[in-house]
Amino acid sequence: MTTRTFALPQPPTTITDELGIALANLADSATGVLTPTLRLGVTGLSRAGKTIFITALVHNLLTQGRLPGFAPLADGRFIGARLAEYPDATIPRFAYEQHLASLSANPPVWPEGTRRISQLRLVLKYQSAKWWAGMTGPATLNLDIVDYPGEWLLDLPLLGLGFAEWSAEALARARLPGHSREAGDFLAALDSIDVSRDASDMAAEQLAATFTTYLRRSREHGALSTLPPGRFLLPGDLEGSPALTFAPLPRPPGAVRNGSLYAMLEHRYEAYKAQVIRPFFRDHFARLDRQVVLVDTLRALNTGPEAVNDLETALTAVLSCFRQGETNPLLRPFTRNIDRILFAATKADHVHHTSHDRLEAILNRLVANARKRASFAGAETKSIAMAGIRATSEGTIREGGETLPTLVGTPLAGEVLDGVTYDGRSEIALFPGDLPERPDSLFEDGQPVALNFLRFTPPQKLERNAAGDLVLPHIRLDRALDYLIGDWMA
């Protein structure tokens, strides 16, 4: 096996950036004199289940759901939770109520995925387990949840790359043999352009359009490290702006001429970094206390060995940007570091529970380099296989005299397996296949994993508790919650 190492620095920051981060943290501290605030970042790469995770987390805290692994609730110390207005009025609110309504509709549908940054504040009330708690009464914690698209996260490594460096890397990836189908139109357009010619908005727009098509095709086929710039895929109100109208170019020989196409796109690339990526890092990403990284490991396994290797590369690059390590309590009013990172292999309900330990082992292999970096910086890490909302149940079938473990669920309309196209209404029993016992075999042998991988609808019939609240079934959400916030509520 070839061992791959990465030496990726954190994104460089300016004195202005650090001053802005310190002032924002100081403002947070000033408003949290009486009530401490824990900022939890939730992210994941493409289709990892961020919206589902947050909706399930919030709902279970609000309704005191079935969370036996969440110590404050299991110990009887958790009093309750309520939604509160987020202090930053310029950030969109996470649409919790709308997402819950989608899950409880008839028929239920999965909520729309994350397309922009959003935040939500939960106020948690609990009784501390400390000996002096009886004298001080119940304690309160503000839990601020920050949700942002994984595509934006992939942009952070660009802060450490100039236009020439990024272009060289992007073009080398585009020219790999396995990328010809996705990148062909973009490379053809690039071959027809003289980068030293006079700058032209039309030429820039045509190149940016073919480059964006290449990125979209790459995302559809599970290639993640090719996706930056992420806002090309989720532009929001920046769509059509010059900051999103550039593409990688080969550097011309000699000095770059002012007024050339190369100079124009280099300027736009630097503007993208300064006006889009850097504010995101400064105002949101650099102010987190805890981070959960959701990973759609099964989708990469089902796509093939190249997708698995690409996922490892993307995760390592992204996680190198985290500000990791313990924060000095004396400096906390001015600075924050992420001191705990939870890596979660989502959609654990798509494999039988007997494969969950193997799924965790594969995730640990994928994030091994990132975990080493976090440990060196002083941050704790943990990996689990989980499902924010469980879409399947388990059963068995007899086949050829053998009893096989199965999943029981309703495949989404249009899902295809063994020549059968499902209608979104028919429940089936499915043997999902086995994950390999040795995670390294995925990297050594380069063999795809034979999984019967289907996407399922949300649970068709949800229970309600004694208070009439929906019960959202999950896998290990309670353990994830306990790791992320349980120590703050001890």
Higher pLDDT, 373 or 27: 373
Alpha-carbon gap, residue 91 to 89, rounded angstroms: 6
User: Is 360 inside any structural domain?
Assistant: yes
> Which residue among 275, 303, 321 closes a domain?
275
175 with 271, same domain: the answer is: yes
Enclosing domain of residue 226: 158-275
Asked if residue 120 is part of any domain, the answer here is yes
DSSP at 470 = B
Residue 231 contacts residue 152 (beta carbons within 8 Å): yes
What is the rounded distance in angstroms from the CA atom of residue 148 to the CA atom of residue 41?
Answer: 8
290 and 141 within one domain: yes
Number of domains making up the chain: 2
| DSSP-derived pairing of the beta strands 290-295 and 340-345 | parallel
Is residue 413 domain-resident?
Answer: no
**Rounded to two decimals, what is the model's pTM?**
0.85
Instruction: Kindly state whether residue 235 falls inside one of the protein's structural domains.
Output: yes
Task: Answer yes or no: is pLDDT of 268 > 90.
Answer: yes
Residue 83: strand, helix, or coil: strand
Q: Are residues 356 and 482 in the same domain?
A: yes
Give the best-scoring range by mean pLDDT among 6-15, 131-140, 323-332: 131-140
- Reference 353, options 414, 407, 415, 401; nearest CA is 407
Could you tell me if 46 and 184 lie in one domain? Answer: no
Contacts of 315 (CB under 8 A, 6+ apart): 45, 293, 295, 366, 367, 370
Please tell me the predicted confidence (pLDDT) of residue 332: 45
Same domain, 50 and 143: yes
Amino acid at the residue 70: F
User: Same domain for 80 and 115?
Assistant: yes
Is residue 312 within 8 Å of 62, Cβ to Cβ?
no
Let me know if residue 87 belongs to a domain: yes
Q: Could you say which of 275, 294, 316 is where a domain stops?
A: 275
306 and 339 both lie in a single domain: yes
Q: In this structure, are 38 and 66 located in the same domain?
A: yes
Q: How confident is the model at residue 131 (pLDDT cuts 50, 70, 90)?
A: confident
pLDDT of residue 251: 94
pLDDT of the residue at 14: 62
Q: What is the mean pLDDT of residues 222-248?
A: 81
User: Within a domain: residue 116?
Assistant: yes
* C-alpha dihedral (327, 328, 329, 330), degrees to nearest 10: -140
Domain boundary among 275, 302, 321: 275
Residue 312 confidence (pLDDT) above 60: yes
Q: Is 219 inside any structural domain?
A: yes
Tell me if residue 263 falls in helix, strand or coil: helix
Residues 6 or more apart whose Cβ sits within 8 Å of residue 415: 421, 422, 454, 455
Select the more confidently predicted residue: 2 or 307. 307
For residue 416, what are the β-bridge partners? Answer: 421
CATH number of 101's domain? 3.40.50.300
306/323 same-domain check: yes
For residue 370, the tally of other CB atoms under 10 A from its CB is 24
Rounded CA-CA distance 30/379 in Å is: 25
pLDDT confidence of residue 6: 34
Range with top average pLDDT, 30-44, 141-155, 202-216, 427-441: 202-216
Do 300 and 344 belong to one domain?
yes
Would you state the pLDDT for residue 472?
97
What is the residue-averaged pLDDT of the chain? 85
Residue 164 lies in a domain: yes
What b/e sequence results for 340-351 when a residue is b if at least 16 CB atoms lie within 10 Å of its CB, and e otherwise?
bbbbbbbbbbbb
**CA 295 – CA 316 distance, rounded (Å):** 12
380 and 361 belong to one structural domain: yes
pLDDT in tens, 376-408: 888 899 999 999 999 999 998 888 788 888 999
349 and 231 share one domain: no
Residue count (the chain): 490
